[in-house]
């Protein structure tokens, strides 16, 4: 039996594949390699390159492979881009998930662990955010993820699908043994941009807004190590295999860091000056997002271990230093 990982060539999906293989699972990967990298796919995984919206392609994989459960990471995930091209997001994220669920149903595969997001909440009612709080996405991206969750909810009611939806806060870091890491083209996320500035690939990091209602005026986010995040997926998989009911869990660290605190920590970790300049607010950015992950700890038994922000930035730095041009450049290129 195999675990099917959709989006297994992407930043987070590739870490899931490595950790599943560490645990001796047989893994099948589907990825269209549009934003992912075929070099990120673990060599022991069976890799099918293609798009989940192509029903025949997906059917073919389900026919060939003996799939017991699905981990679904394949989606477009940039808030800004989703505001410019919402239909691209509805097509890939929502329609793609519909084709996936139809195919799972046809093949009697009834377990899925789904990658969702804090963006489903929008501007939070209160922090830390708990799963019972109102969802009110402020971006097309967040809206598509919420629609995907809802689709699974109704499939659970009608067909007995079992799902766990994991709402991620800010995922960062890299596999500590260094084989894989974060490589987005173009890069929009704070920690990789800060580290590219440390590598002098950028002149300065622009701080998007210094007039928020926070202690130092910059936005506060909850950063979680990608390996801890994947541990929660593996626990969610066991939970479903042991008969657990469909659930939604936040994944974060219950602690917030401002943009300025991240830059300062990166200066310490890298020993580089990392120039920063003030800039405009980025539309759609809530001022503070901090998760309560108590439910995941209580029900899944999740115990994140790489929670210090220094460790998260050190592991990311290890990847960026050794792969300054991501997967295409190689070491020191």
Q: Interface residues with ligand UDP (CB under 6 A)?
A: 79, 170, 188-190, 193, 205-208, 219, 221, 259, 282, 285
User: Of the two residues 72 and 221, which places its CB atom closer to ligand UDP in the complex?
Assistant: 221
User: Of the two residues 103 and 218, which places its CB atom closer to ligand UDP in the complex?
Assistant: 218
Query: Which residues fall within 8 angstroms of residue 101, CB to CB, at 6 or more apart?
Result: 151, 152, 155, 161
CB 253 within 8 A of CB 291: yes
Q: Rounded distance, CA 128 to CA 119, Å? A: 14
User: Of the two residues 45 and 290, which places its CB atom closer to ligand UDP in the complex?
Assistant: 290
Q: Give yes or no: 327 in active site.
A: no
User: Of the two residues 222 and 247, which places its CB atom closer to ligand UDP in the complex?
Assistant: 222
Closest approach, Cβ 208 to ligand UDP, in A, equals 4
Q: Is residue 150 left, alpha or beta, with left meaning phi > 0 and alpha meaning psi from -120 to 50?
A: alpha
Closest approach, Cβ 298 to ligand UDP, in A, equals 25
Closest approach, Cβ 241 to ligand UDP, in A, equals 31
Q: Which residue has the closest beta carbon to ligand UDP?
A: 219
Closest approach, Cβ 79 to ligand UDP, in A, equals 6
Q: Which of 11, 48, 89, 141 is catalytic?
A: 141
User: CA-based Rg of the chain, rounded to a whole angstrom?
Assistant: 19
CB 299 within 8 A of CB 136: no
Q: Rounded distance, CA 175 to CA 312, Å? A: 10
Q: Rounded distance, CA 220 to CA 199, Å? A: 24
Give catalytic residues, as residue numbers.
Answer: 141
């Amino acid at each position: 039996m195999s675990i099917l990982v959709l989006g297994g060539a992407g930043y987070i999906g590739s870490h899931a594949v490595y950790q599943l293989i560490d645990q001796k699972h047989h893994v099948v990967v589907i990825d269209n390699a549009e934003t992912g990298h075929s070099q990120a796919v673990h060599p022991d995984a069976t890799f099918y390159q293609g798009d989940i919206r192509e029903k025949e392609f997906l059917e073919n994989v389900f026919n060939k492979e003996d799939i017991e459960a699905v981990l679904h990471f394949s989606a477009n995930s940039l808030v800004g881009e989703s505001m410019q091209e919402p239909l691209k997001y509805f097509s890939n994220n929502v329609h793609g998930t519909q084709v996936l669920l139809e195919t799972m149903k046809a093949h009697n595969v009834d377990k899925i662990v789904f990658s969702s997001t804090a963006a489903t909440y929008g501007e939070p009612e209160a922090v830390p955010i708990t799963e019972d709080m109102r969802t009110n996405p402020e971006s097309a991206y967040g809206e598509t993820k919420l629609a995907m969750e809802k689709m699974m909810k109704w499939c659970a009611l009608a067909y007995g699908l079992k799902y766990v939806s994991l709402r991620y806060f800010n995922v960062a870091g890299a596999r500590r043994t260094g084989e894989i890491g974060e490589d987005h083209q173009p890069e929009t996320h704070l920690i990789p941009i800060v580290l590219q500035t440390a590598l002098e690939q950028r002149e300065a990091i622009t701080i998007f807004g210094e007039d928020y209602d926070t202690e130092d005026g910059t936005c506060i986010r909850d950063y979680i190590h990608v390996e801890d995040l994947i541990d929660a997926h593996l626990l969610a998989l066991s939970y479903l295999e042991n008969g657990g009911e469909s659930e939604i869990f936040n994944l974060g660290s219950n602690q917030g860091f401002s943009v300025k605190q991240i830059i300062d920590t990166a200066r310490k970790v890298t020993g580089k000056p990392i120039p920063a300049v003030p800039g405009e607010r980025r539309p759609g950015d809530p001022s503070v997002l901090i998760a309560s992950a108590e439910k995941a700890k209580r029900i899944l038994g999740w115990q994140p271990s790489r929670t210090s922000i220094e460790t998260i930035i050190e592991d990311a730095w290890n990847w960026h230093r050794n792969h300054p041009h991501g997967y295409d450049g190689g070491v020191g290129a």
